[in-house]
Amino acid sequence: MKPADNHWFITNVKAIVQDTVVEGSIIVENGIITAIVEGQFLPAENEQHRTIDGNGSWLLPGFIDMHVHGGFGADFMDANREAYDTITRYHAAQGTTRMLATTVTASKEAIEAVLAAANDYVSGEMDYAALGGVHLEGPFISELWPGAQNPAFISPPRVDWVKSWNEQYPGLIKQLTLAPEKERACELIAYLAESGIVAACGHTDATYSQVTAAADAGLTQAVHTFNAMRGLHHREPGTVGAVLTDHRITGEIIADGHHVHPAAIRLLVGAKPADKVVLITDAMSAAGLGDGDYDLGGLIVDVKQGVARLREGGSLAGSTLTMIDAFRYMLTHTDLSPAEVSRMASGNPARQLGLAEVTGSIAVGKRADLVLTDAAFTEVSHTWVNGRLVHGS
């Protein structure tokens, strides 16, 4: 009998189980973690299970990337299944088990094409990392902080658009990024909060008081903290000051050494509670490929030595980062333990998305969304999504 695809004995691993490290084995049946066994464990012969010997490697909860635009030459704005397979295949090989298809500021028609394509994709068989929904980054952002977003398509907040999209595709939109200082922004934030959609500030010139007012309305996240937002000043703490001090707000961070200085990363993790920081990649289509010219929302991006910048103006334009690289960067440049970084890469985004009861950590009864990596966190050898091996052999 052929071993079931989602029945596994994963032995001889250092597993991050909640906030501790367990050296032992994990048993997966029907895609669900059914046992965590400390110490040496030799399973009885069972044709229904495949065995993977981790040889002392790290077993982590699968990474959840709430902010990713593409990878390996494809972009979610391409709005087709082939592109989405390319992106989810590439990032699954880097340890990501769930992601949000992130848009850029674009025309209403282009955004609607992504929604239609993502809805079709999640309705079918997903062979690699799971697409968990859509993150609309814009178009309701500040003209003062466009970053690598196309300013030609910036729009005032349109509650009617978002309501229509959410009614047409119930549950598909998981996050929306906007500038909370804009007119009707708090009305839209309140609608998002009522609808179970993460309302995030980003590409914003909001003052401290405007951000706290947005949090009163239901804002719960800050997109790529420190980047494309009003900075910290001791008399006007700005967007950054509000994110650092208002613990209703979870801060995303791009830990690649280019977007944010390591001291600023340490400031964020020191200021925020342990469950209020989320690692993201903000990866664009160039991730996984070499230097060259790329497109992001109709703007030309030059990638040199792995750093993506707009050709016109030189703004950073997303990244070529992967979640495993972000994980390793955090270990190298902070005093955080692997378990603490794992919470930022998996547990915290699961909580933000309302999935903490089923994924985001290794626990009996949860989905087997798992990543096996080497001792230095440089290579991902195996990735499982709901107990199904999507990377490795």
For 114, the domain range is 63-352
Question: What is this structure's pTM?
Answer: 0.97
For residue 70, what are the β-bridge partners? Answer: 75
1, part of any domain: no
Active site residue 205: no
Question: What's the pLDDT at 1?
Answer: 32
When divided into structural domains, the chain yields a total of 2
Give Cα separations from 362 to 8, 195, 284, 352, 369 (angstroms). Answer: 14, 28, 29, 17, 8
Q: Which two tokens stand for residue 297?
A: 């929302």
Q: Which entry of 78, 205, 282, 325 is annotated as an active-site residue?
A: 282
Q: How far apart are CA 129 and CA 376, in angstroms?
A: 23
The residue whose two tokens read 């490290």 is 21
How many CB atoms are located within 10 Å of the residue 57 CB?
Answer: 22
Assess contact for 224 and 190: CB atoms under 8 A: no
Backbone torsions φ then ψ of 302, nearest 5 degrees = -100, 125
End-to-end CA distance of the chain: 18
Question: What's the pLDDT at 136?
Answer: 98
76, part of any domain: yes
Based on the domain organization, do 69 and 181 belong to the same domain?
A: yes
Based on the domain organization, do 286 and 378 belong to the same domain?
A: no
Based on the domain organization, do 188 and 218 belong to the same domain?
A: yes
Question: What's the pLDDT at 355?
Answer: 98
For residue 177, what are the β-bridge partners? Answer: 137, 200
Based on the domain organization, do 163 and 202 belong to the same domain?
A: yes
Q: How far apart are CA 150 and CA 103, in angstroms?
A: 12
2, part of any domain: no
Based on the domain organization, do 145 and 162 belong to the same domain?
A: yes
Assess contact for 31 and 353: CB atoms under 8 A: no
Question: What's the pLDDT at 43?
Answer: 65
Based on the domain organization, do 90 and 212 belong to the same domain?
A: yes
CATH number at residue 28: 2.30.40.10
CATH number at residue 178: 3.20.20.140
Q: How far apart are CA 243 and CA 258, in angstroms?
A: 20
Based on the domain organization, do 37 and 74 belong to the same domain?
A: no
Based on the domain organization, do 139 and 272 belong to the same domain?
A: yes
Residue 32 contacts by C-beta under 8 Å, 6 or more apart in sequence? Answer: 365, 366, 367, 368, 387
Provide the edge-to-edge strand list for the sheet that holds 8-17: 32-38, 20-29, 8-17, 50-61, 370-373, 380-385, 388-391
Assess contact for 63 and 97: CB atoms under 8 A: yes
275, part of any domain: yes
Q: What is the CA radius of gyration of the chain?
A: 20
Helix (H) or strand (E) holding 201: strand 198-201
Question: What's the pLDDT at 332?
Answer: 98
Say what percent of the chain tops pLDDT 90.
Answer: 93
DSSP 41-65: --PPP-TT-EEEEEEEEEEEEPEEE
Based on the domain organization, do 344 and 366 belong to the same domain?
A: no
Q: How far apart are CA 223 and CA 176, in angstroms?
A: 10
Q: Which two tokens stand for residue 284?
A: 């664009």
Could you read off the pLDDT tens digit of each residue along the chain, which spans 393 residues?
345 578 999 999 999 998 899 999 999 999 999 999 998 776 666 557 899 999 999 999 999 999 999 999 999 999 999 999 999 999 999 999 999 999 999 999 999 999 999 999 999 999 999 999 999 999 999 999 999 999 999 999 999 999 999 999 999 999 999 999 999 999 999 999 999 999 999 999 999 999 999 999 999 999 999 999 999 999 999 999 999 999 999 999 999 999 999 999 999 999 999 999 999 999 999 999 999 999 888 899 999 999 999 999 999 999 999 999 999 999 999 999 999 999 999 999 999 999 999 999 999 999 999 999 999 999 999 999 999 999 999
Based on the domain organization, do 72 and 129 belong to the same domain?
A: yes
Q: How far apart are CA 92 and CA 48, in angstroms?
A: 25
Question: What's the pLDDT at 18?
Answer: 86
Q: How far apart are CA 106 and CA 79, in angstroms?
A: 13
Which is nearest to 387 in space by CA: 370, 364, 365, 363?
A: 370
Amino acid at 266: R
Question: What's the pLDDT at 48?
Answer: 72
Based on the domain organization, do 346 and 238 belong to the same domain?
A: yes
Q: How far apart are CA 371 and CA 328, in angstroms?
A: 14
209, part of any domain: yes
Based on the domain organization, do 37 and 88 belong to the same domain?
A: no
How many CB atoms are located within 10 Å of the residue 82 CB?
Answer: 9
Backbone torsions φ then ψ of 249, nearest 5 degrees = -105, 125
pLDDT tens string 215-265: 999 999 999 999 999 999 999 999 999 999 999 999 999 999 999 999 999
3, part of any domain: no
Assess contact for 391 and 11: CB atoms under 8 A: no
Q: Which two tokens stand for residue 251?
A: 């801060």
DSSP 275-336: TSEEEE--B-TTTTS-SEEEEETTEEEEEETTEEEETTT--B-SB---HHHHHHHHHHHSS-
Q: Up-side HSE of residue 218: CA atoms within 13 Å toward CB?
A: 19
Question: What's the pLDDT at 2?
Answer: 44
